Amino acid sequence: MQLSKSEEDLMNHLWKLEKAFMKDLLDAYPEPKPAPTTVATLLKRMADKGFVAYTTFGKSREYYPLVKKKTYFSKHVNGLIKDFFNDSASQFASFFTKETNLSKSELEELKKLIDNEIKSR
């Protein structure tokens, strides 16, 4: 399951904070801040999707992520490769290296990462 752009923005704040009350999440947003009702609606949708849960303290709820950021984005990237690059990592890598205006040093760093990964397998 996937998050909408606004849910992803909120989830990024929650991943950084690790645990947060509504006030903490609202404070994490830059101006203009979203309405509390908007954030509450997003949190409910995200809980329904299984991305967040909460602990109740009186009338307050402390929210926390159920999905790790790395896990979410790994599935997201793998979905992009499958859907847009015919499930070909090499097509994705070719597109990524040609279309992102990486510097020579960034490309060399990517090459080192790939070489190290090859050695470790």
Residuewise pLDDT in 10s, the chain (121 residues): 789 999 999 999 999 999 999 999 999 999 999 999 999 999 999 999 999 999 999 999 999 999 999 999 998 888 889 998 999 988 988 888 888 888 999 999 988 998 998 999 8
Q: What is the CATH number of domain 5-65?
A: 1.10.10.10
pLDDT at 14: 98
For 1-112, list the strands marked E by DSSP.
Answer: 20-21, 52-57, 60-65
Query: What does the block give as tokens for 40?
Result: 């509450």
**pTM, to two decimals:** 0.77
Indicate where the chain has its CATH 1.10.10.10 domain(s): 5-65
Q: Is residue 63 within 8 Å of 43, Cβ to Cβ? A: yes
Burial of 13 by CB count in 10 Å (0-12 exposed, 13-18 middle, 19+ buried)?
A: middle
Give CA–CA dist 77/25, Å, rounded.
26
